[in-house]
Structure 1
Amino acid sequence: MKNTNGDKLVQPLNGLKVIDCTLALAGPYASLILADLGADVIKIENPSQADMRNIGSEPVGANKKEYDTPYKGENGKFLIVNRNKRGLALNLKSEEGKKIFLKLVDSADILVQNFRPGVMDRLGFGWDDLHKRNPKLIYCSISGFGEGSPYAKLGGLDLIAQGMSGLMTLTGLPDLEEPIKVGTPVTDMGTGMYGVIGILAALRHRDISGKGQHIEATLLDTPISWLTWRAAEYWESGDIPEPQASGTGGYRAFKCSDGKWVNVAINMGRLFERGAKVLGLEHLVNDERFNTDRARTKNQKLISEYFSKEFIKKTSEEWIEIMQEIGVPVGPINTISDILDEDPHTKAREMVVEVDHPRIGKMKTLGVPMKFSETPGKVKTAAPLLGQHTREILEELDIDEKEHKKLLEEGTIYYD
């Protein structure tokens, strides 16, 4: 989508200051979206806990030194969700660190935190305390279970939420004993998205009322809200939904003669008629077992059996071309390298971009998925080094160079 503002970069959230007190994925993903849309996101990190940056990092191979890797010792998972942010290394447990943090709060619009419940309250930075200090502040808490839950004090992680929500009973194969989780941390990222939706709604309310508010988004509420059709099926029939495999009936993946699989949607009305015909199964169209949507739903396993025998007769490329010609939705099962390195959609939509990192140099990161005609999101900077922007942020708070050195010696702050 073309930006009609010419060379001037005007972004939706320009002028908003966000304090990022987050770890791992769910919280950083929320503040990442805000940063991509132009907010000034200040990521707070403890000067003495640089190892927290390595959460989820992959071990370096036995024959490699960490600086031989593409990321030169930096954690790729940290880099991917902390771009476009400024870094402030600040000890929130020290008295001077708390004073600096509260100065930040005074001019902040939004705070995002996903520490375990009670941590921010013990530091004196809970919702009640900060709301009194800055009534316009929008305070977003991301946690496993949230206030009022009997599980509120338990640790929440993506895997745990996928299991507790029922999501893992819907993923995988019906005859597979082991539960299967989704292959990327969907509840973390979905909760971050819900947090952002809440923040944007709260900003709108603040525009009208002048008041900030507290928002909660949780790892368990998120996948429960996604049950949608499976919940409707359960409430309608009383039957507990089975694992969905790649899909059901004619709405699923089929294996082709080249060993590759394709996804197709030969499941409703005219799509079923067109698909059945090119598969050489015209007789199924008027068969009373398959001639209505309700009948096809009842006989999904039989449809899969018929279709599987036909798809195996041609290559995936042949079937993709055939289905596209007759208007049946179809697509390949890509590997990560297929979609990131080769797919023309990824290139055309700028979903992989390059950015300069102060230690790594040029590095790849994911692009901004929302496209705006007037106020585009943009990847402008790489994730910060520990304390990379500490000095400039302190200067913005009118803390002079002499005080910087004192704070540095005390361990209250850190910068290179």
Structure 2
Amino acid sequence: MPNPFSKALSNPFSQNKIPTEPPKKYVKVNGVMKLNPEYKKWKEAQDGGKPATTVSNPSQALPVVTNMEDHEALNDASLAAGGTEIPLSESSNETILMMQEPEISVEAGMQPDTMVDELGSILNKYEVPMGLMNKLMMLSEFDELEFMIDDSGSMRCSTDSKDSRGQIQTRWQEAQTRLKEMMEILGYLPFQEISICFLNRPLRISLKRNGRDPRSFLSDAYQQIDQAFQNGPSGTTPFFERLQESFARSNGRSVSRYFFGDGTPNGGIQATKGITNLLKNRRDPAQNPMTFLSCTNEDDQVEWMKGAEEVAPYCSECDDFADEAAEVLLDQGEALPYTKGFYLVCALVAAMNPEDLDAMDESVPFTKPTLDNLLGIANSEENYKHYFDCFLKAQQARPVVSKADEVKKHQKWRLHYAEFVRAPVANQLPAVQAFKQQLLQLGQ
């Protein structure tokens, strides 16, 4: 099969020579902007073989533009291919202006003239699309970000998540790793207070900015987290009780809650029903979002979390990156650049964004305006059509194991392509409303 990039690129790696200057990061292939495969090779050679990207299929994924430097490189590639400059999306422009306000930057421990670049650096590390900055800024609106950690004995068991060396982790180690990754993103954002508590021990860590820059804040946060996790897990899983206490303690404050856990709480089915009812009926759910962060290789043990997510508003469930990436690939196709950074942002704010971040597994394509705002750039229609076509390809390949799968597989989204190009969000489209109603009836 001929290389689809061969006409667009010369090969700077001929005769096994690695160029000292990096190739262009992006390239246009058949009208679609993508990561340049020669840049990918160069980057991996520079980094000792470490993968240059965390997307599932870089040859099909739309480009990940993480900061202003990436945006400049994208425009260079577009102009070199005879195209025009690619504007930032509305969400990116709004967020950049917001971050240049002195009050916002000081709350994040940075200066107005450096915050965009400093945050851009951490977004680049994890490959977070620029458009998601807008989502992350939502966290500043909460009085508290509360992380509840399951420290029951079963957290000593192995999970299916691996560490940076490829070694299988315990569930306790997975929770620690994921918490610190999320904390690294938070370290560069304005927030009021971060609390970390456990189900079986009285320890409660309270983290505040106190005027510190991101590095100083994170050094202290990591030290306190590592110290807390040195004491291994033991005991039971009184999550229902701790969740009730959390709501009672908040007393009208806005709190975004996160729970790292691996199984059924004390009380079994009765407790999971109680948790679900508590979340369904909580006051002002938009100001009290709930995110379940499952840490296990026994998916049936956390099925109740997925059940709660389905019926409770502003509630999300998030597995480890590998599992989430596989689900997104199944539902969205290969063009959506679901990176490790995209995943971390979803872990932090998907529960607050039911129209897009928490809708990726609903088997409905994003509209073009939604995709633009998530990725941070005003995609050409060629780019959007590539995404839409990849979505349809994934839909056609979907395995059918239930009536719901059959409905998802045979929905005729192509007939509504023009509507998806124009509509701000998919839920405004009658076809999407009818599709979701059909799925809802199947679930009854």
Largest Rg, 1 or 2: 1
Larger helix share, 1 or 2? 2
TM-score of the superposed pair, with normalisation by structure 2: 0.27
Higher relative CO (Cα under 8 Å, sequence separation at least 6) belongs to 1
